Chains A and B, each alone.
Chain A
Amino acid sequence: MNDNRHIDNTQRVVVTGIGLVTPLGIGKDEFGRRLFTGETGIAEIKSFDTSKLSSHRGAEVTNFNPRDFISVKNLRRMDKISLMTAASARLALDDANFRITEANRDRVGIILGTSFGATDITVQFLTNLFNGGPANVNPMLVPNTVMNAAAGHTSIELGFRGVNTTVTHFAVSAENAIAYAAAEIRRGTVDFIFAGGADILSEFYYKSLTKFHVLSPQNKGRESCRPFDKDRNGMIVGEGCGIICLESLQSATARGHKPYCEIKGLGMGSSPTKPNAWPQNSDGIKLTFSRALKNADISINEVQAVFAAANGDKILDALEAEAYTAIFDSSGKNPFITSLKGAIGESFSSGGIKACAMALSMEKNILPPVAGLANPLKPLAFVTEKKKELEINNAALAGISFGGAYVYMTFSK
């Protein structure tokens, strides 16, 4: 019964638009300007009181006015994470110069990654329930308690009806989402798809993180985020959303739109690791990176830049640096390494913002410096102090999560 006139899986996937709501700014211009000059969005937290907590800093999104991006009709139903997601998607759509119409809306989709979802709404809902019993529950909050609400609201706001999925997997949520979205373009189920990640800072969530002793200053000292630095002492939590638009090369070419880059290689893997713990060695990272290179059919010497996962965590940064030391050879043609976390904090789904930054970097041939890095923990080619100008033909995006989950991707010109 199966006549096998099937998907060919040969579509080339390109990035045609980026949209950002981040601690460094809203939209690619402000974000790019601040990122490449080495600025940071990390500051004292303003939206709630941290005076009784062991950490006080964060990378908050400020100066974000949802009304600039979202219709009044939908705005009042949306929570913080949905607003950031819909606004980022709107920005990405405009950047891609794509119009969603009645004729194409069923072939437009979204795959969103979120690590923790609407922590603010969940806490509010349970506070009402436990303080006032079943009669005190607010039905208006219910739709936003589900993690897929942000993607759902975005589809309503922008009016598209194709593939729509929300994925989560701790710190590789967004990378998983982008990998999935690229597969959907290849499979031919959609012509245009939004992909990326969104997470928010909220009071109870921040407080919980301080109790897990993962935030700077882990072992006292100055509270700051220093990826790959010898003196790093934990991460600083951030928030925000980064969305990229993917379409087939054929589709971008047909409408005369120049893509940022092509998503070429994909590697996925994991290490058997206790939940919430870090793996014991960097084997899984090396294996996954090599899977991505093999998938793209390129060698490590053809990669000019790695956008790392390092966020200032004692173990993560050491594991990642150890993996690159092992992978890179003595040819002297090894990639430069940068990390955004000193600028945007760790929002766990920051892979969306990372992918946007990679696209921008490849367009401009500039690598952003690692904000906060002064004394590298290993002699690798980190971009320190200021931006680095060089021709970037291939770049790798590193997704590494506690619990031992990895997603690596390579983008090519």
Chain B
Amino acid sequence: MKKRIVITGLGTLNAIANNVPDFTRALQNGACGIGAIDLFDTTGFRSQTGGQIKNFIARDYIPEKFSMKRMSRADKLSLAATLEALHDAGLYPSPKELKEEIGIAIGGGAGGLLEAEEFYSDYLKNNGKDANFCKLSSLFCASSTDCNASTFGFSGPKITFMTACSAGATAIGYARDLIVNDQASIMIAGGVEPMCRLTYAAFNALKSVDPATCRPFDKNRAGLSLGEAAAIMVLESLDSALNRGAEIYGEILGYGITCDSFHMTAPDEQASGAVRCMQAALKDGCLHIEDIDYINAHGTATPVNDVTETKAIKEVFGKRAYSIPVSSTKSMHAHTLGASGALEGIVSVLALHHGFIPPTINHREADPLCDLDYVTAGSRKADLRAALSNSFAFGGNNTTLIFGRYSGRGAAHE
């Protein structure tokens, strides 16, 4: 019998909350974290707003005994979120005998680019004179994975994912498989994405950003809002969780990956990649369309994505599509790119665990082409069995995760 993999710890910092309990309340209240940003100068760009993490002082989260030397903002954010998740899972400090069996899978994007950009800007100004190249030492995303492993002393598998906006979701899916395949007992899995100039400039240049605040599924939507986040889950087998007496938030039921093979930055308007991806996740979990009670949409609020995703959901779920609530929480915490799949995975798990459906905020006018239930009038209480979360990326990478509410040892089997 296949191992069941459950979630026993959560940690996040994002535009609407700097910890999981606050995040749950913010999601229930429909908080908006998108506004002015001060990490860098936005003058001259199409938009000036974003979903920046508020009041992040790393030392408030990371104990003095842990060195933060040469760590980037991304490294610090992922470390803070991992600490919260480990605490939550009862794994901090981690028992010595478990450390060899704990691995880390993180999905990233910009990594230490925010700091590297400052270096490179000075480098250009000074024609390369007196440049301190050490500032590039935490540039690459794998650095966040390594910082986590070295800080906590883990010796399990380490891997970092770089599939743009689906990286965080892929990290969680693959981490599940590493436990199923006995390569690790416990996995720290998730994503981290800091805001940075390159990403901001890139999305602005493609005119994919809304100059105002993003409005997923709204008729007048004009693009996404960029954000940043760290989002980490602790995964382990059900047996391991029960043996440790850990609280179980939910379980990973299904995981699917496909690619569009269509265009590098635009989704296939036939939605084939997205359709096959949701179907692959359902098949992986041996689930039927009737089993899904909530969809956390990719829902970027670009004109094309929201129509395409709606079409894909209708193709996969048929008539049932109209009775499944679909929301884009990017309307609150913005699009956190490499972290988004993991952040929205946490949203899905919290929805299942606490019994609510988070809303799509900022939605004012219905789009006839987007005609599903987007939960636009605030969050709802609901008894949910399983939630599906979509992540679609540049490069045509699609990942779908399906999470289930944990309702006892035997429940998910028969």
Contact = CB atoms under 8 A, between A and B. Distances in A.
B157 A270 contact: yes
B140 A2 contact: no
Contacts of B163: 147-148, 164-166
A146 B111 CA distance: 12
B273 A161 contact: yes
Contacts of B136: 208
Contacts of A149: 264, 394-395
A232 interface: no
Given A148-B393, A152-B397, A165-B397, A105 B149 contact: no
Contacts of B265: 142-143
Interface in B141-174: 141-143, 145-147, 149-150, 152-164, 170, 174
A403 B142 contact: yes
Nearest to A182: B181
Given A133-B44, A270-B149, A1 B412 contact: yes
A205 to B, nearest CB: 10
B413 A4 contact: yes
A404 B146 contact: yes
A387 B386 CA distance: 58
Contact of B287 (A2, A127, A130, A143): A2
A410 to B, nearest CB: 15
A221 interface: no
Interface in A165-205: 165-170, 172, 176, 180, 183, 186-187, 189
A138 B198 contact: no
A189 B257 contact: yes
B103 A134 contact: no
Contact of B259 (A147, A164, A170, A275): A164
B269 interface: no
Contacts of B152: 272
Nearest to A116: B140
Contacts of A130: 120-121, 124
Contacts of A172: 158
Contact of A167 (B124, B160, B184, B394): B160
Contact of A269 (B155, B202, B288): B155
A19 B103 CA distance: 31
Interface stretch (A5-13, A26-34, A334-342): A5-13
B146 A275 contact: yes
Interface residues of B, number: 87
Nearest to A212: B133
A125 interface: yes
B253 interface: yes
B140 A170 contact: yes
Interface in B372-397: 385-386, 393-397
A147 B113 CA distance: 13
Nearest to A276: B137
Looking at B202, B206, B260, the one whose CB has the most chain A CB atoms below 10 A away is B202
Nearest to A77: B264
Interface string A374-413: 0000000000000000000000000000011101000000
Given A155-B261, A159-B261, A404 B288 contact: no
A146 B395 contact: yes
Nearest to A149: B395
A137 interface: yes
B286 A3 contact: yes
A71 interface: no
B335 to A, nearest CB: 14
B258 interface: yes
Contacts of B90: none
B341 to A, nearest CB: 12
A7 B296 CA distance: 26
B353 to A, nearest CB: 18
A198 B158 CA distance: 19
A151 B396 CA distance: 10
Contacts of A167: 159-162
A135 B291 CA distance: 49
A125 B156 contact: no
A374 B174 CA distance: 42
B70 interface: yes
Nearest to A156: B261
A37 to B, nearest CB: 35
B264 A125 contact: no
Contacts of B397: 148, 151-152, 164-166
Contacts of B184: 268
B212 interface: no
A144 B264 CA distance: 9
A148 B258 contact: no
A355 B56 CA distance: 44
Contacts of A147: 162-164
Nearest to B159: A176
Interface in B76-97: none
B272 interface: yes
A1 B254 CA distance: 12
B205 interface: yes
B396 A155 contact: yes
Contacts of B162: 114, 117, 146-148, 166-168
Nearest to B184: A268
Given A9-B181, A272-B150, A145 B198 contact: yes
Contacts of A266: 183
A183 to B, nearest CB: 6
A398 B258 CA distance: 30
Given A148-B397, A161-B261, A287-B155, A1 B385 contact: yes
B201 interface: yes
From B100, B264, B393, residue with most partner A Cβ within 10 Å: B264
Contacts of A208: 133, 136
A120 interface: no
B178 to A, nearest CB: 7
A272 B94 CA distance: 14
Nearest to B280: A189
A273 interface: yes
Given A122-B198, A133-B44, A143-B265, A162 B259 contact: yes
Nearest to B251: A2
B355 interface: no
A161 B137 contact: no
Given A109-B259, A122-B198, A145-B198, A273 B150 contact: yes
B302 interface: no
Nearest to A134: B44
Contact of A272 (B155, B412, B414): B155
Contact of B103 (A116, A143, A186, A268): A268
Interface string A101-135: 00001100100001111000011011101110111
Contacts of A166: 161-163, 395, 397
Contact of B394 (A3, A148, A159, A187): A148
Nearest to B131: A211
B323 to A, nearest CB: 17
A6 B286 contact: yes
A226 interface: no
10 contacts: A126-B120, A137-B201, A143-B264, A152-B397, A160-B261, A169-B160, A172-B158, A212-B133, A274-B150, A405-B142
Q: Which 6 A-B pairs have the closest CB atoms?
A: A152-B395, A164-B259, A268-B157, A211-B133, A147-B162, A143-B264
Given A189-B256, A272-B149, 9 more contacts: A130-B124, A145-B198, A156-B264, A161-B276, A165-B174, A165-B257, A168-B162, A180-B174, A268-B158
